[in-house]
Structures are given as C-alpha cells and as structure tokens.
Amino acid sequence: MKFGKEFVSQMVPEWEEAYMDYNCLKATLKNISKFRELNESAPMASTPKGSLKRRLTLYRAFSGLTDRQRGSPRKDEDEVILVRAAEGEGSEGLYQTLFLKPSEEGAEQDLVFFKKLDHEFNKVNSFYKKMVKEMIEEAAELSKQMNALIALRIKVDKVGFINLGSYGHSRVHMDVIHEIEMSNGRHLENGSGNYEEETTSRTSVEGFRPASLEILDHVKINMTTPETAMSTIKGLLPSSKSDPSFSKKELRKAEEQISIALKEFYNKLRLLKSYSFLNLLAFSKIMKKYDKVSSRNTSKDYLKMVDSSYVGSSDEVNRLMERVEHAFIKHFANGNHRKGMNTLRPAVKKERHRITFLLGLFTGCSIALVVALIILIHARNILYSEGRTRYMDNIFPLYSLFGYIVLHMIMYSANVYLWRRYKINYPFIFGFKEGTELGYREVFLLSSGLAVLSLAAVLSNLDMEMDQRTKSFSALTELVPLGLVIVLLLITFSPFNIIYKSSRFFLIQCAFHSACAPLYKVNFPENFLADQLTSQVQAFRSLEFYVCYYFWGNFKTRSNKCLESDVYKAFYLIVAIIPFWIRCLQQQKNVLQKFSFMKNIFTRSFFSVLSTFA
C-alpha cells in the first residue's frame, strides 16, 4: 500500500482536518514536475545537436587561471531555503520558509509549494501543542481524582490509623500519591509550558504535605452506570441518612470509574502520539519527493527545523504515558505489569479463518435451500394446490418471525461494516466489554446460520397433503416451527460460554433495562435497542400468533380461530404499542435525569456561594 493511502487509513476521524494535507502537496509537486519536463523538452526540440554542444561549452563556468578557488563551493551557494520563525504579532510559534533562488525559472511554483508546506506544518504544530495542553490539564484532574480514590481506600479499609499516627498517615499518602501524580509533585510546569524536574529535595517527610482525608468531605460518588430498580425507588423516597461515610460498594464503583477514565486517557495519549508520528513521517516523505523532483537538497534543512519544533521535540506525551502506566499497574493491576499493559493496550482482535469459512458455507447452504424450495414448489405445483390458503394462513406467519430476525441481523451487520469502514468507535459508544464486540462477519455468520435452520424447517414443513383418514397432518412436522423457537430461546439464554456469551448477555441486559425503563438509567445501548424494537412490531405479533396457534388452535389440522377472538384482537394492538411505550418511558426517564443533573448543579453552586460568603 502506498504511503498516501496508509496515511489516510490511520487518521483519527475526529482530527482529520488537523492532519497534513499530503495529497494537496503531492499534487503541487506533480505540477512542478510537469513544468520542468516541458521546459527541458522545449530547447531540445528547437536546437541542433552541434549548436547545443557549442552552447554548453560557452556557458561552462570559468574556474580561473590558478587553483586558488578550487575546492568545495561556498555554503551560501548551496543553500536553497531558509527556515525561520515568523515575526510579528500573533505569529508566535509559526514558521516561515524563504526560497533563496527566486530568479530561477519555475521558482513561482516552488514558492507556492513552500507556502503550502509552511501552512500545513504550522497547522499540525499548533494543533499538537493545543492537544498536549489539554492532556496536561486532564492529567492534573485525574491526579486529583486519584488522590481522592486513595484517601477513600484508606478510609474504607481502615489501614491502621490508630497505630500509624500522624507520621504514618503522611507516610502512606506520600508513598502512594508520589507514585501516581501526573502533573504536579515530581514535575513542575515552567513558564514555557514544558515540564522540568523539581530541584527541591523531598526526602523529608515533614516537608511533604499529602492530600488529607478531609478531601472526602467534598466527594460524592456519582453512579454513572445503570442503577438498579431498588436504588431508583430509594431515590424517590426521603432518606434520613446524614452520615457521609462510604461503603465498599461505593469504593468499587469509584475504582471502576477511575480505571475506565485512565484507560480512555491512555488511549487518547496513544492517538496523539500516533498523530505526531504520522505527520512527521509525512513531512519527511514529501520533502524527499521534492528533492527528487527539483534535484535539490532541501529536505535536510527543513526536517532539521521540524525535528526542533514542538511537535518534533516535545516529550510530554511519552512522560504522561509512562506515569499512567505506572499508576495503573500499581493501583489497578496489583503490580502485575503484563496484566496492566494488556488492559491498557488490548490486543487487536484477529479475524479467524474459521469464521470466514463457516460464513461462506452457511451462505452457500442458504442459497442452495432457497433454490431447492423454489424447485420443489414448482415441481409439486404447490401454488395451485388446495392447501395453499391454509398454509399461508397458519404456517407462513410462524416462519415469518425468523425472516424478520434474519433481515434485521443482516442490516445490523451492514451497519457494523460501515462503522468500521468509517472508523466509528462503536464498541466504546455501545459500552461493549473490550475484545467481546462482534464484527460484521460474526453477525452475518449468525444470521446465515439462522437462515439455514429456518429454510431447512420450511422444507420439512412444506407438506400440503392431509391424511384423508384422520384429516390431520403429521404432528412432528407441525411442531418444527415451535421447536425452532425453543432452540433459539435456549441458545439466547444459555449460561454456557458458547455462541458469543458476552454479547448475548449484554443484549439480555439491555432488553431488561429497556423493558423496565422508568426504573433504570437510560444509556445509549438501551435507546438504540428500543428504536430497533419499534421496527419489529410484526415479529412481536408473530410471537403472539405462536401462543394462539399452538395453545388455542388445532395445529394438527392447520386451523385456528385467532382472528375471531376478542382477546387476540386486543393483544394484537397491545403488542404493537409496547415498543413505542417503552421508548416513551425512556424519553421521560431522560428528562428526569437531565432535571436531576441540573438540580445537582444548582445545589452545588448554591452551597459553593454560601461557603464563599461564610
């Protein structure tokens, strides 16, 4: 793969506008190359060979009558560009390239190239500097949260405060916080925005003032994960508990949230490091291309400036990554380096050849079964048989359930393919456990497998001939659709680690939270699932028909009186309303969550103002 395509494929979609426009600069180099080719071919076409040889001799440089000036030419004559910092207000940190040979033929296009090159480099450098500043601020905030977490651990676990005394208390804090602090403590920020080592000695315990347990007086654990139904009900009732003590459950919740925050922060740092590496490599590539096209040696001077710039010389990202790794390994992996790094840097999920093989096998079998079904219908002349109406009224609605499910899964696999194609981080958006999200191949494999079972069941249940003596069909074949539904439900709710257990349980959890929308916090997965359920009204009605057909009807004679029942007609409407009712309850829950959030902000602001005046 060429570098241009590789460069585009590794871009972070949210930062796409901040990357160097490699294709634009490459197009400018092509124009320079075409211009030089035209200028070189023009004199050759109009000048005779002898005249050209004579002209080259006449224009050959005169070396003088003595050997005094022989040797390497002056450096000023070899210099083509001069890179310097731009002067003027508002141009701090910007670079400008001066082309030192403007009188040469075609120099206008060289000037255009370097102008675009400077614009792209200044854009990359400014964006990187801004993002590093944001990372440093976020690291400082995470450091404060880690201080609160450590104090919470000490208070909940009660690590020997009675025996430690004041010296031991400070010592515990010093050993722990000194290890995890990211933006303060060991490194102080100087005036230029960079970090430098602190020169003051911290060997004395008395000189170190760690975060005390009083920080917990201002801490409130905010449960951002879905609450239980009981917690929601308790939240609606007045509580008389005023003790601000913390429990082990709240400690685990805080540890989980800080762990997720550190992993996401580390992932941002990795993306920012990749951004810097890709752009530096792109500038190196484009300058080498320019040297090749122009037959000059300018890349050395320009890349020297790139290496000395902020994006080329800054080391803040690497240092932040090292501190996050050290903090995460010690406090969330029990000092196990391999376990901590595997969590921070999960291995890329490999595409298995077995999945591709089974996907092709099931897809081919599905196509073969469809062809066999068409041939069988045509050979038996089923479309004109006497039992066709009875089949369409009783059997076809049973199998339509699987048709809706298979079609929905195929559409979802197409969505996953497009999400991956356009680099949408759907595992993070949906909240899937790392490494357990299903790709489009896995989803399409499940849909094709269900399609094979459904089509095989249709073929086995296509008998239109009734026993003339008993006026009934074979009970075994008539129970095939019900058996297929039972098998599908058993697989879905199976507790064994088969057929993507994590994804199945995640779906069950989301469905349960959606059904109990007023009692659970509504997140994006629940919203998305409820939207999908509103498109599956006919599938729910097919399930209702299963109950009516096999429990109230006579499946052996393929007859039912469902449409004559008032109860069935009532539930026919109720089943269609349920998905939309769930979505409506979710919207009400969202409004209540926003109202509660605004109430908390107002309360905190009010008490902050009171404490200020107090």
For residue 286, the SS3 value is helix
The per-residue pLDDT for 484 is 94
**Counting Cβ atoms within 10 Å, is residue 213 exposed (0-12), middle (13-18) or buried (19+)?**
middle
Q: Which residues pair with 554 in a beta bridge?
A: 559
Q: Which residues pair with 196 in a beta bridge?
A: 188
- The answer to whether residues 430 and 344 touch, using CB atoms and an 8 Å cutoff, is no
Alpha helices per DSSP H over 73-160 = 75-78, 107-157
Length of the chain: 614
- The answer to whether residues 597 and 434 touch, using CB atoms and an 8 Å cutoff, is no
The per-residue pLDDT for 502 is 92
d(CA 413, CA 424): 14
For 210, residues 6+ apart whose C-beta sits below 8 A from its C-beta are: 147, 170, 173, 174, 177
The per-residue pLDDT for 388 is 83
d(CA 500, CA 442): 9
- Other CB atoms closer than 10 Å to residue 159's CB: what's the count? 13
In 561-601, the DSSP E strands lie at none
d(CA 74, CA 546): 93
Assess whether pLDDT exceeds 60 at residue 56.
no
Q: Is pLDDT larger for residue 238 or for residue 402?
A: 402
Q: What is the mean pLDDT of residues 267-293?
A: 92
Closest-CA residue to 266 (of 142, 148, 427, 176): 142
The tens digit of pLDDT for each residue in 317-371 reads 999 999 999 999 988 888 888 888 888 887 777 778 899 999 999 999 999 999 9
Tell me the helix, strand and coil percentages in the chain, rounded to 5: 70, 5, 30
Q: Which residues pair with 188 in a beta bridge?
A: 196
The structure tokens listed for 356 are 């591709």
Where is 394: in which H helix or E strand? helix 388-394
Assess whether pLDDT exceeds 50 at residue 284.
yes
d(CA 307, CA 284): 10
Lowest-confidence region among 85-89, 101-105, 211-215, 222-226: 222-226
d(CA 330, CA 336): 7
d(CA 150, CA 203): 21
Assess whether pLDDT exceeds 80 at residue 221.
no
Helices (H) and strands (E) in the chain, counts: 23, 4
d(CA 118, CA 110): 12
The tens digit of pLDDT for each residue in 572-594 reads 999 999 999 998 888 877 666 66
Q: State the pLDDT confidence band at 234, using cuts at 50, 70 and 90.
A: very low
Name the residue type at position 339: K
Closest-CA residue to 13 (of 352, 275, 381, 297): 275
Domain boundary assignment for the chain: 3-56+78-127, 131-226+247-344, 353-607
